[in-house]
Amino acid sequence: MSRVVVDVMLKPEILDPQGQAVANALPRLGVTDVSSVRIGRRIEIEFAGDANLDTAREIADKLLANPVIEDFEIRADDAVEEDA
Amino acid sequence: MTVRIGVVTFPGSLDDGDAARAVGIAGAEAVRLWHGDADLYGVDAVILPGGFSYGDALRCGAIARFAPVMETVADAARGGLPVLGVCNGFQILCEAHLLPGALTRNQHLHFRNRDQFLRIASTSTAWTNQFTTGQEILVPVKNGEGCFVADERTLDELEGEGRIVARYTRGNPNGSQRDIAAITNEAGNVVGIMPHPEHAVEALTGPSLDGLGFFTSVLRTLAGSSAGGQLAGGH
C-alpha cells in the first residue's frame, strides 16, 4: 500500500472568509502577531499497490480541486511504506 | 403537444418537488429524472434543482457533476437543450464547466435565507424572455455558498457579452462579485441562478409570482423553436 497526499488551497487572489474568521479570533487566544490565515484541504489517497502520481494528479485535477478557484500540490507520502 | 420538462433528483436534492410544481403551474408536464439514470426520456428542457447533492461533499456540485445523468445533460446542453440550474443546480453547472466561474462560501459566512430583489439584466436567454430588461423581481434566496467568483477577464466577458442574467439589488446577500445572481452560457440556453424562482410561483407560499416568468419563458422558447426552427438562445 502506498499513499499520495494532495494539498488543495484557494488561489491567492480568492478571498478566504473562513481563514479571515480564524485570523480575527486569534486575539482572543492572546495571539497578536499573525497577519493572515488561509484554510485549505489535505486529501490522502491510498493505492492498493505502488503510488501512481499520474493517476493522483488526474484525480486532483478533475475532482479534488476546482481550477477556477483552487490550486493543488501532490506528493508521495513515503512514511506509509516505512510503516508497512 | 404538452412541453415536457425534466427535473433531476440527486441524493440530497431539496427543491425538486417545488421545481416540478412550478413547471406544472406554468403549463408544462414535469418529468422526474433520476441522477443514476443517464436517459433524459426525450424531455424538451432540464432543471437542476436546489439542495445539497451528495451532501455537498468536497465542494457543492463537485460529485453531482459526475452523475450518469449529468453526462447526458452536458451533451444535450452543448447541443442547445435549455437547462436551468437553481442554487445547487447553478453550482453543478459551474462544476461541470457548462457555466464559467464558481460559487463560494458567502463572504459573511452566514447562511442567508430571505426574500431578495433581483434586477433582470438579460432577456435574451431561453429562461428570461418573458421579462423586461431592468425589471425588478422578488424571489427567495437561501444559500451558504452563493458568492459568485471568477477572474476579472471572465467577469468582463460576461458583462460585455450580456451574459449576466440577473443582479442582486437592494443588498447583495452573499458578496457575489458584481452583484451577480444569475448568468448564462454563450448560446443563452443554459442559465444558472442562485435565488429560487420555483419558490415564487404561488401567492400562498411565495413572496410574489415573479418566479413563474422563468418557466413561461422556456415554454415560449420551445414554442418558438418548434415553430420556426430557431435556436434556443439569442432570440
| Cell numbers placing B156 | 468582463
Complex confidence, ipTM: 0.85
Phi, psi of B165 (to 5 degrees): -90, -40
Average pLDDT, chain B: 95
**Facing B102 at nearest CB: one of A15, A63, A68:** A68
Phi, psi of A52 (to 5 degrees): -110, 100
Answer yes or no: is pLDDT of B235 > 80: no
C-alpha cell at B110: 452566514
CATH architecture of A2-83: 2-Layer Sandwich (3.30)
- What would the pLDDT profile of B24-44 be if each residue is shown by its tens digit? 999 999 999 999 999 999 999
Q: Nine-digit cell at B15?
A: 427543491
Choose the closest CB to B105 out of A17, A63, A66: A17
* pLDDT tens-digit map of B56-99: 999 999 999 999 999 999 999 999 999 999 999 999 999 999 99
Partners of A12 on chain B (C-beta within 8 Å) are none
Interface check for B157 against chain A (CB to CB < 8 A): the answer is no
User: Which contacts (CB < 8 Å, 24+ apart) does range A16-22 have?
Assistant: A17/B105, A17/B106, A17/B107, A17/B108, A17/B109, A17/B175, A18/B105, A18/B109, A21/B109
| Domain limits, chain A | 2-83
Confidence of residue B234 (pLDDT cuts 50, 70, 90): very low
Beta strand pairing call for B190-193 and B83-86: parallel
| Cβ contacts of B108 on chain A, cutoff 8 Å | 17
Decide if B148 contacts B176 (C-beta within 8 A): yes
Number of H helices, E strands in chain B: 5, 11
H helices of chain B, in order, are: 16-26, 68-78, 88-95, 152-160, 212-228
User: Of B101, B102, B105, which has the smallest distance from its Cβ to A18's Cβ?
Assistant: B105
Q: Is A21 on the interface with B (CB under 8 A)?
A: yes
Q: What is the pLDDT of residues A2-50, one digit of tens each?
A: 999 999 999 999 999 999 999 999 999 999 999 999 999 999 999 999 9
| Model confidence at A62: pLDDT above 70 | yes
CB contact under 8 A, A68 and B100: yes
Check: CB of residue B5 under 8 Å from CB of residue B44: yes
Q: What chain A residue is nearest to B99 in terms of C-alpha separation? A: A68
Q: Does B100 touch chain A (CB under 8 A)?
A: yes
What structural domains does chain B harbor? Answer: 4-228 (3.40.50.880)
CA–CA dist B10, A77 (Å, integer): 35
Chain B closest-CA separation from residue A78 CA (Å)? 25
B108 interface with A at CB cutoff 8 Å: yes
Q: What is the pTM of this model?
A: 0.92
pLDDT-derived band at A1, boundaries 50, 70, 90: confident
Residue A24 near chain B (CB below 8 Å): no
Stretch (H or E) spanning B170: none
A69–B95: do the CB atoms touch at under 8 Å? no
Nearest-neighbour CA in chain B from A17: distance (Å): 6
Contact state of A17 with B150 under an 8 Å Cβ cutoff? no
Query: Pairing mode, if any, of strands B4-9 and B45-48?
Result: parallel
The residues of B that are catalytic are 87, 196, 198
Contact A63 B58 (CB under 8 A): yes
Find the CB nearest B149 among A21, A63, A69. A69
- CB B161, CB B186: distance < 8 Å: yes
DSSP letters for A7-62: EEEE-TTS--HHHHHHHHHGGGGT----------EEEEEEESSS--HHHHHHHIII
Is B209 within 8 Å of chain A by CB?
A: no
C-alpha cell at B95: 462544476
pLDDT of B228: 43
Does A79 score more than 80 pLDDT? no
State the pLDDT confidence band at A84, using cuts at 50, 70 and 90. very low
Cβ contact, residue pair B104, A69, below 8 Å: yes
At A5 the pLDDT is 97
